[in-house]
């Protein structure tokens, strides 16, 4: 897509600069003249929204770090100092904490949009994998950030998650000791998590640059999945995409502000307002909502190592998606069967999220006692998560490869503009 540059420096200074460092040309070609498919819908505004999220997290985080003390003795009170005594500290902290949730809402929508419209297919495999790397870094950053307030859920969440690595044979113990910097979650753990929590967002920013670079090489996918063929198929990024993205961001910010100003603790846990105490374990340790589906997969398997492998496998499937899907047609708009499986997948992910928040032994239908299978009653969240986990993996490992070979897709338009300009397709 990165064709001939149309940038023309207008003033003496910009001509001088362009001959030395064509940075304005880069900006012009990337964000002004860059051709975008004309049929992009609102699901495509989440890329811009995500860069906004990253910027908000980095800016609020840098200021929070000026007031935060990464020590087991002072972390909790320093967060309360931010909440009570730092000017607008409450705003910064609530923006940062809820910003993490908003970031994940946006990234999940962005990823699911990619799955639905086949945005991972050739030639966008590297673009997709870079996105997966960003997601992985986001998970690590969010997990370590949640530990920093050193509340009960911070501490015991850190214990549970870091202990997972001990499941690996031979190297497991060494990995956990390295993560902890000690023989338990303690002062050194908090200090290294703080350091890494500050580092990783800049790594994310770096991979975002690669992600955008790859995007500008291959061009954006679009709801038809048909690549632009002529000028009629595209519009310049500015003003067309900029104004639409800006509107999307603004609506997203309304939701963000609702959380920050009116329900700032709705997505948190009451236990995290209790200072960390290694000797008292909370009755119910749950991770933040965005990890719940993976937490459910982890607990679905009876063996710890198998659970850990399944959890990492669930993420690995997302990475391998470009090679798991055999369909020649990109967009599910023309794949009715794939669309049905995708919708089930969506529901299954939400079910997994619910299962992750419940105790495995809790009954799904209250009061109903059925037959125990492998030691657990069938009417329990552990069995529901097992079924959902089975579908999760089947979707990637069975449905994706086989459906592409067997399904009969609907006719795909020749060009983007033929259905758009002809107004033939008003389905989505």
Partner 1 sequence: MLRKVTLLAAALVLIGGPALASSKVKEPQDIAFSFEGPFGTFDQAQLQRGYKIYREVCSACHSMNLLAFRNLGDRGGPFYDPAYSPAHGKTSNDNPVVKALAAEAQVADIDPETGDAIKRPGTPADRFPAPFANDAAARASNGGALPPDLSLMAKAREGGPEYIASLLQGYLTPPAGLIVPAGQHYNASFPGGVSAGWDEKKQGHPPEGGLIAMAPPLADDKVSFDDGTKSTVRQQAQDVAAFLMWAAEPKLEERKQMGLSVMIFLILFSGLLYASYRRVWRHESH
Which positions touch partner 1 (CB under 8 A)?
A: 38-40, 77, 80, 83-84, 90-91, 94, 156, 159-160, 163-164, 166, 183-185, 235, 239-240, 243-244, 246-247, 250-251, 253-254, 257-258, 260-262, 264-265, 270-271, 273-274, 278, 281, 283-285, 298-299, 302-304, 307, 359-362, 376, 382, 420-421, 423
Give whichever of 301 and 400 is closer to partner 1, judged by the CB atom.
301
* C-alpha distances out from residue 410 to 115, 116, 332, Å: 18, 15, 10
Taking the least distance from each CB to partner 1, the nearer of 260 and 351 is: 260
Q: Which is nearer to partner 1, 16 or 261 (CB)?
A: 261
Judged by CB, which is closer to partner 1: 253, or 315?
253
CB of 166 to partner 1, least distance (A): 7
Shortest gap between Cβ of 139 and partner 1 (angstroms)?
A: 18
CB 327 within 8 A of CB 118: yes
Q: How far is the CB of 252 from partner 1 (least distance, A)?
A: 10
Taking the complex as a whole, the smallest distance from the CB of residue 242 to partner 1 amounts, in Å, to 9
Q: What are the helix (H) ranges across 165-241? A: 172-180, 187-218
- Minimum CB separation of residue 266 from partner 1 in Å reads 12
Omega within 30 of 0 (cis) for the link into 350: no
Give the span between the Cα atoms of 136 and 204, in whole angstroms: 9
What sign has the CA pseudo-torsion 375, 378, 383, 387?
positive
The encoded tokens of residue 397 equal: 């490992």
Nearest distance in Å: CB 16, partner 1? 33
The least distance separating partner 1 from the CB of residue 178, rounded to whole angstroms, comes to 15
* Of residues 118, 328, 342, 110, the one with CA closest to residue 221: 118
- Residues belonging to the chain: 428
Nearer to partner 1, 205 or 359 (CB): 359
* Cβ nearer to partner 1, comparing 237 with 391: 237
Query: Which conformational region is residue 170 in: left (phi greater than 0), alpha (psi within -120 to 50 degrees), or beta?
Result: left
Comparison of 90 and 198: residue with beta carbon closer to partner 1: 90
Residue 362 DSSP label: S
Distance, CA of 52 to CA of 427 (rounded, Å): 30
């Amino acid at each position: 897509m990165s064709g001939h540059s149309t940038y023309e420096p207008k003033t003496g200074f910009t001509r001088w600069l362009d001959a030395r460092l064509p940075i304005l040309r880069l900006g012009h070609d990337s964000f002004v003249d860059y051709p975008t498919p004309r049929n992009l819908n609102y699901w495509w505004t989440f890329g811009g929204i995500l860069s906004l999220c990253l910027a908000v997290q980095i800016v609020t985080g840098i200021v929070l770090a000026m007031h935060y003390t990464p020590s087991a003795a002072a972390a909790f009170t320093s967060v309360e100092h931010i909440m009570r005594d730092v000017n607008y500290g409450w705003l910064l902290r609530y923006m940062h904490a809820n910003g993490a949730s908003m970031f994940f809402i946006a990234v999940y929508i962005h990823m699911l949009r990619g799955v639905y419209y086949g945005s991972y297919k050739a030639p966008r495999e590297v673009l997709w994998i870079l996105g997966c790397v960003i997601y992985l870094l986001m998970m690590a950053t969010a997990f370590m950030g949640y530990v920093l307030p050193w509340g009960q859920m911070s501490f015991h969440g850190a214990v549970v998650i870091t202990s997972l690595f001990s499941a690996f044979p031979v190297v497991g113990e060494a990995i956990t000791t390295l993560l902890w910097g000690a023989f338990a979650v303690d002062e050194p753990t908090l200090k290294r998590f703080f350091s890494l929590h500050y580092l990783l967002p800049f790594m994310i920013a770096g991979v975002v640059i690669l992600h955008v670079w790859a995007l500008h090489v291959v061009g954006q996918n679009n709801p038809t999945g048909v690549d632009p063929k002529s000028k009629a198929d595209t519009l310049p990024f500015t003003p067309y995409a900029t104004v639409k993205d800006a509107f999307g961001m603004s609506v997203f910010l309304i939701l963000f502000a609702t959380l920050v100003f009116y329900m700032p603790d709705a997505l948190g846990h009451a236990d995290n307002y209790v200072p960390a105490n290694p000797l008292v374990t909370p009755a119910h340790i749950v991770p933040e909502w965005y990890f719940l589906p993976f937490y459910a997969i982890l607990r679905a398997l009876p063996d710890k190592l198998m659970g850990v492998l399944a959890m990492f496998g669930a993420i690995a499937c997302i990475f391998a998606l470009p090679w798991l899907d055999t369909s020649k047609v990109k967009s599910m708009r023309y794949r009715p069967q794939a669309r049905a499986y995708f919708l089930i997948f969506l529901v299954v992910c939400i079910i997994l999220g619910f299962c992750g928040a419940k105790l495995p032994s809790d009954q799904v239908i209250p009061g109903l006692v059925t037959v125990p299978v492998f030691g657990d009653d069938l009417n329990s969240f552990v069995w529901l998560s097992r079924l959902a986990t089975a579908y999760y993996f089947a979707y990637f490992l069975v449905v994706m490869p086989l459906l592409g070979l067997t399904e009969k897709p609907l006719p795909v338009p020749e060009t983007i503009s033929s259905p758009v300009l002809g107004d033939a397709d008003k389905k989505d």
